């Protein structure tokens, strides 16, 4: 895996705290149907995503990624179609790395949303504007 998709929160370490990716997935809010989303950032504690719609904050969410067990989470923030989920239980680092490898395989295929490459920058900007700490 190339180093370019890793997000480093500290300049003095090589350990990735989160991965930048573009991985199609689905979410389901309580008493709702499954909705398509695109994962943009993933760590053991949570994920950043693009949904194209506002997700209710502090509501239970289930994240579905093909080939993985459903992940229980809650919405930390949502703005302009972007959102951040915090997982109820941290994922094992090997699961996060496996999802990052799946994202690399998906990037060789066409993405369903036609997401612009600037989505990662916009997500990071919104996260900072809202004063939210980075996923760790």
Residue 105 has pLDDT above 90, yes or no: no
- Look at residue 116 and tell me whether its pLDDT is greater than 70: no
Distance (Å) of CA 15 to CA 11, 18, 33, 136: 10, 9, 37, 11
**Highest-scoring range by mean pLDDT, 14-28, 52-66, 104-118:** 52-66
For the residues of 31-66, what is the DSSP string, one character each? TS-EEEEEEEEE-SSEEEEE-SS---TT-EEEEE-T
Mean pLDDT of 15-22: 74
pLDDT of 50 reads 92
Residue 136 lies in a domain: no
pLDDT of residue 112: 41
Domain annotation covers residue 118: yes
Joined together, the tokens standing for residue 53 give 């719609």
DSSP state of 85: E
Domain count, the chain: 1
CA 117 from chain center: how many Å?
15
Question: What is the rounded average pLDDT of the residues 94-106?
Answer: 83
Report the CATH number that the domain containing residue 105 is assigned in CATH: 2.40.10.220
Q: What is the pLDDT of residue 131?
A: 61
32 in any annotated domain: yes
Query: How large a percentage of the chain has pLDDT more than 90?
Result: 36
């Amino acid at each position: 895996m190339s180093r370019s998709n890793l997000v480093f929160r500290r300049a003095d370490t090589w350990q990735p705290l989160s991965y930048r990716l573009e991985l199609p997935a689905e979410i389901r809010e309580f008493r709702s149907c499954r909705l398509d989303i695109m994962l943009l950032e993933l760590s053991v504690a949570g994920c950043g995503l693009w949904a194209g719609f506002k997700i209710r904050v502090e509501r239970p969410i289930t994240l579905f990624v093909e080939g993985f067990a459903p992940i229980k989470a809650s919405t930390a923030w949502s703005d302009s179609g972007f959102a951040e989920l915090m997982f109820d239980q941290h994922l094992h680092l090997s699961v996060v790395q496996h999802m990052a490898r799946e994202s690399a395989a998906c990037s060789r295929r066409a993405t369903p949303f036609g997401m612009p490459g600037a989505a990662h920058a916009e997500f990071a900007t919104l996260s900072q504007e809202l004063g939210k700490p980075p996923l760790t």
